[in-house]
Structure 1
């Protein structure tokens, strides 16, 4: 089956060349799918990719229209994991933190692995349960805020995304329904499509996922599981408080719902108590080393209820998602010799510094962020839309992620996501924070794609980030 990105690339070239003109309406997705002899889901991904690149806009009830063609010297904004647009000089889509001295710290920890006797052992195959040393080390790494996983609950994947795929595959049969926050990690949408499950968007507020939304969705049609990010939610930066987590724990227990808790960014939040501490018998925790250490040599962690170890381990093996032994050995050594702890400390300081830059340069705009996070959610001023702003940013050499990339649509209702929108947003009174801190914004549930962009703050040097934000600020003050 042809990859949806290739189809999107061809449509993008038609827009660049002028064969598809600004304002021209694309055919309905079902018609497009029939003409191209592709699945309806693939057509949806093609249109979604064009929205993400800032080339088209979807209007609920009207269809999908070409926006303005970008400069002919460039091509469409590529996914962070693929070839980058030659126009892009500052990529605020990527979000992999790196701090001074990181490579030196990592090299010191790797040195013992290069001995012939150690290297031979470190390159053998590895089960999903890893090694005893790895389980003990990671249990200690994840412990905190009154919660410590038992080593026998630990499983290992190649990265956190594979951990998410493995645990969802073990929990949800094809056709099953998984509840998620209405704005969620985009790759979860791809994972759900690949394993054949349906994502159900659930309402959120300034505390995160609403327990009543979970119960209501389950009454409509039973959910098989929940996928949530209760600490430093991506993209909004929200962290649920103790009361909200307790309320949610009551609901998932009453409904018998298993939960996948994504804690990949939670290491930046020192007081972020895991949701697993409130419902340990129901929660599967996903974490990893890519953000703590580096993206190129990483491993994903899973903490699962004890009776679920065999089932999740089998799913990891069948999917080919188990961790490589060398990466796990390296990670274990970095944990035990203090490298990971030192990197985490430096990255917390770095993230806070970058948030202060955002607060200073975007202080007149509505931005949601946590002062500990490496990302910010910028609600754009009218008349800017996410797609036009993304295209305007790309034309100036800056890549940002448009809000619709995080939207989960209601099943069977394309183009009608249940997520925050411009029409009902409101700022929480008394939550502006002291000078130099990004403001917090509360959202109500509404229809329509959010006119917002996510800024990934981690992957570019601070001077480049400052210059990029100044440029984006000037763009936002103008008109499309």
Structure 2
């Protein structure tokens, strides 16, 4: 058969690349494809099936990774010999890393989330080894839009799971993590000697650090149970002639709040009346989106940032930025003027990682195991005022009467548990609530994490004498 082989794709609602992988395996099983047969070239098969070349390349890549196919540089892709085909399709093993077993006395850092290691480190090592053998973008050239095209295309597929409005791979800007993406957007939007930006009254501290770099004034805006209050937003925007709003609507950091679609629509109306650009930080969401992003609701002023830090690993420092439809070119220029582009081996890794057929399974495992830690925390702290979501890797704990935040953080540290104060999320001159954020640390065993929760519970149940009530 070889290059004349023509598969039939099943229409079962599964992604087309998975349907093609199934068709190739079926072809091998029914002997219409034999060991050593050459598969059709990517573009040829894509044209014949009426699908994109990227879809065919993703299917070929997945089958090459699991040993079903063999790719030879300059020759093509071939059916592997039977001995190269493992009995199971793409088994993903947990990474062989040492976890701190710990115990009641073990120190647990809950300042920032520590993701569970479920196979992503092993996969990244394998992909890095393949790239080192034959780097698709080479290692002797500057980054360019051409050699980063596969990474942008893979990122576009990755981002397409969220309701972001219209965009193509040409609109995706690759950044050195979510924080870098935020700074790029600020460089694109802000103007004047002392621009003003608006933030939620409790917000991700990186917003303020980025604003400091841009010499921008930061104004906090009051919130309620649904996020930003539209009346407070409009008053602040008019009073300070603000240019931009920073917000985390899907997963508010640090309170776990979610801004529903109705409230988002009200905020968009305010933004249009006050000519505000809206930057949405979606880096903490590891589950499905629950409402349309601001980029979809307000395509003329919605900017979007995401990253791999909370769903795969923070080590790679890979972020994604999308501009409003008419400002994509300006955002690209900001990135190219700042750093030309990601290092080519990293962009090659991004393309391979985000196109890998096992990535969805890995992210599901990360989400489930993070949820196990959240549940363990709730089992211990459930009697106190805790805000949480099963698909968010932190909890927001309002302290009971008798505890002040600084005293509780110091007492927790003495018990071997580091937590993050509400003061870290408030503006410098604002009165912050007596609350702390507890991030999931899946780098320690579940037993150690639960023991740390027990130590916090004992503190919560026994506030210092003479304070509070």
Ranges in structure 1 where 5+ consecutive residues have no aligned partner = 1-86, 410-414, 418-447
Instruction: State how 1:96-135 maps to structure 2 within 5 Å.
Output: 96-115=114-133, 117-118=134-135, 121=138, 124-127=141-144, 131-135=148-152
Shift of 1:318: 4.3
State the secondary structure of the residue aligned to 1:179. strand
Work out whether residues 143 and 340 of structure 2, in 8 Å CA contact, stay in contact via their aligned partners in 1.
Answer: no
Instruction: State how 1:20-35 maps to structure 2 within 5 Å.
Output: none
Aligned length: 357
Structure 2 residue aligned with 1:141? 158
Work out whether residues 254 and 396 of structure 2, in 8 Å CA contact, stay in contact via their aligned partners in 1.
Answer: yes
Question: Is residue 466 of structure 2 the alignment partner of residue 468 of structure 1?
Answer: no
Structure 2 residue aligned with 1:231? 250
Structure-1-length-normalised TM-score: 0.70
Alignment CA distance shift 1:132-1:449 (3 Å): same
State the secondary structure of the residue aligned to 1:268. coil
State the secondary structure of the residue aligned to 1:455. strand
Q: 1:452 aligns with which of 435, 450, 454?
A: 435
Alignment CA distance shift 1:120-1:372 (3 Å): closer
Question: Is residue 190 of structure 2 the alignment partner of residue 172 of structure 1?
Answer: yes
State the secondary structure of the residue aligned to 1:227. strand
Q: 1:257 aligns with which of 259, 276, 279?
A: 276
Q: Distance in 2 between matches of 1:128 and 1:120?
A: 11
Alignment CA distance shift 1:331-1:451 (3 Å): same
Alignment CA distance shift 1:339-1:321 (3 Å): farther
Q: 1:344 aligns with which of 314, 338, 363?
A: 363
Shift of 1:339: 3.9
Shift of 1:270: 4.5
Alignment CA distance shift 1:275-1:122 (3 Å): farther
Question: Is residue 178 of structure 2 the alignment partner of residue 160 of structure 1?
Answer: yes
Work out whether residues 358 and 469 of structure 1, in 8 Å CA contact, stay in contact via their aligned partners in 2.
Answer: yes
Question: Is residue 285 of structure 2 the alignment partner of residue 266 of structure 1?
Answer: yes
Alignment CA distance shift 1:97-1:123 (3 Å): farther
Alignment CA distance shift 1:196-1:381 (3 Å): same
Shift of 1:145: 5.0
Farther-moved stretch of structure 1 (146-155 vs 178-187): 146-155
Alignment CA distance shift 1:123-1:450 (3 Å): farther
Structure 2 residue aligned with 1:31? none
Q: Distance in 1 between matches of 2:219 and 2:349?
A: 38
Alignment CA distance shift 1:132-1:475 (3 Å): same
Shift of 1:240: 1.1
Alignment CA distance shift 1:186-1:395 (3 Å): same
Alignment CA distance shift 1:351-1:98 (3 Å): closer
Shift of 1:334: 0.9
Structure 1 residue aligned with 2:400? 381
Work out whether residues 122 and 329 of structure 1, in 8 Å CA contact, stay in contact via their aligned partners in 2.
Answer: no
State the secondary structure of the residue aligned to 2:279. strand
State the secondary structure of the residue aligned to 2:286. helix
Farther-moved stretch of structure 1 (346-355 vs 267-276): 267-276
Q: After superposition, give the CA deviation of every residue in 1:428-454 in whole Å (9 maximum; x if it has no partner).
A: xxxxxxxxxxxxxxxxxxxx2210000
Structure 2 residue aligned with 1:211? 230
Alignment CA distance shift 1:269-1:452 (3 Å): farther
Work out whether residues 155 and 303 of structure 1, in 8 Å CA contact, stay in contact via their aligned partners in 2.
Answer: yes
Ranges in structure 2 where 5+ consecutive residues have no aligned partner = 1-104, 465-469
Shift of 1:311: 2.5
State the secondary structure of the residue aligned to 2:135. helix
Alignment CA distance shift 1:393-1:146 (3 Å): closer
Work out whether residues 374 and 456 of structure 1, in 8 Å CA contact, stay in contact via their aligned partners in 2.
Answer: yes
Structure 2 residue aligned with 1:199? 218
Alignment CA distance shift 1:145-1:287 (3 Å): closer
Structure 1 residue aligned with 2:33? none
Farther-moved stretch of structure 1 (262-271 vs 280-289): 262-271
User: C-alpha root-mean-square deviation of aligned residues, in Å?
Assistant: 2.2
State the secondary structure of the residue aligned to 2:138. helix
Work out whether residues 130 and 155 of structure 1, in 8 Å CA contact, stay in contact via their aligned partners in 2.
Answer: no
Work out whether residues 130 and 156 of structure 1, in 8 Å CA contact, stay in contact via their aligned partners in 2.
Answer: no
Structure-2-length-normalised TM-score: 0.72
Q: Distance in 2 between matches of 1:120 and 1:310?
A: 23
Q: 1:282 aligns with which of 301, 305, 320?
A: 301
Shift of 1:283: 1.0
Q: Distance in 2 between matches of 1:126 and 1:209?
A: 40
Work out whether residues 88 and 394 of structure 1, in 8 Å CA contact, stay in contact via their aligned partners in 2.
Answer: no
